[in-house]
Amino acid sequence: GQNIDQPTEMTATEGAIVQINCTYQTSGFNGLFWYQQHAGEAPTFLSYNVLDGLEEKGRFSSFLSRSKGYSYLLLKELQMKDSASYLCAVRDGPGGYNKLIFGAGTRLAVHP
Amino acid sequence: GAVVSQHPSRVICKSGTSVKIECRSLDFQATTMFWYRQFPKQSLMLMATSNEGSKATYEQGVEKDKFLINHASLTLSTLTVTSAHPEDSSFYICSATIGSYNEQFFGPGTRLTVL
């Protein structure tokens, strides 16, 4: 079956670093995405990994290990506006088919 | 970046009526559009994949006769919830892609409440 696991909730302090983990078991793998979603709004794209290793983009970094079925999103220098849900999504299916399977999301609360 | 719009943003309807939600790609031609449903504090669940000019592909458990999808052009897809019931109340989000491998651009979502 298809399974994507993330912690339900996390809290962190403004200015700190937080790591959100994601493990997946899917029938196929063609890339992993991280999205940010504020309450009542649509998800916005943060990062994409298809090869093993770390991808860095400003305050956000994402890591992938395909052999372990594992990814994490690292947020540095946390700001209050980073309080949101963070969704891990795996692109599944045969080559060329862009279907995304989403995890339940991790609700991050950033405190002063 | 690519912009996707949805209309309406909120809709309240009576049980048994039908509701149409539009999804438009504003500055690009979308070869594929996706429809998701999201219940409170849950993640996005893919309902169907829609390719322009062809029939939508529905996910297991999604009733194709209840959730009608039309993708008449490369910039417009519509989702019609027929004979809506209170359990259909949810946040409906569409996304669009340019080609199979590219990222999905999400619309702002439509909050449906069925009384």
Q: What is the dihedral of CA A90, A95, A99, A104, to 10 degrees?
A: -10
A40 in contact with B, Cβ within 8 Å: yes
B88 in contact with A, Cβ within 8 Å: no
Match 């849950």 to its residue by tokens. B42
Instruction: Report the C-alpha gap between A31 and A64 in whole angstroms.
Output: 9
CB contact under 8 A, B106 and A48: no
Short-list A87, A108, A78, CA closest to A4: A87
CB contact under 8 A, B93 and A42: yes
**pLDDT tens per residue, range A31-84:** 999 999 998 888 998 999 999 999 998 999 999 999 999 999 999 999 999 999
pLDDT, one tens digit for every residue, chain B (115 residues): 678 999 999 999 999 999 999 999 998 888 889 999 999 888 899 999 988 878 899 999 999 999 999 988 889 999 999 999 999 999 999 999 876 556 788 999 999 999 9
What pLDDT score was predicted for residue B99? 66
Beta strand ranges found along chain B (DSSP E):
4-7, 10-13, 19-25, 32-38, 45-51, 57-58, 67-73, 76-81, 90-97, 105-106, 110-114
B60 in contact with A, Cβ within 8 Å: no
What pLDDT score was predicted for residue B9? 95
CB contact under 8 A, A87 and B43: yes
B106 in contact with A, Cβ within 8 Å: yes
Question: What SS3 class is residue A73?
Answer: strand
Cβ count within 10 A of residue B62: 17
